[in-house]
Amino acid sequence: MFEHFQKLLSKRCPGQEDMNTDTARDVILKLHNEHRATIAKGGVVMGNKNKTRPCPRMMKLTNYDCNLEKDAYSTAHSCPSAEPKVDNENWFTTTDVANKRQAAKI
Dist. CA 6–CA 8, nearest whole Å = 6
Better pLDDT: 36 or 4: 36
**CB 13 within 8 Å of CB 19:** yes
Over residues 88-103, the pLDDT tens digits come to 667 666 665 556 566 5
Worst-scoring range by mean pLDDT, 20-29, 37-46, 77-86?
77-86
Q: Is the dihedral of CA 98, 25, 35, 61 positive or negative?
A: positive
Is 66 a member of any domain? no
Query: Residue 72: how many CB atoms within 10 A of its CB?
Result: 14
Distance, in Å, from the CA atom of 75 to the CA atom of 80, rounded to the nearest integer, reads 7
Question: pLDDT: is 92 or 106 the higher one?
Answer: 92
| Range(s) of the domain holding residue 13 | 7-59
User: Residue 56: is its pLDDT beyond 60?
Assistant: yes
In a domain, 96, yes or no: no
DSSP for 9-56 reads PPSSSTT-TTT--HHHHHHHHHHHHHHHHHHHTT--B-TTSPBPPP-T
Total structural domains within the chain: 1
pLDDT band at 76 (very low <50, low <70, confident <90, very high): confident
Give a yes or no: residue 16 inside a domain: yes
Q: What is the mean pLDDT of the chain?
A: 78
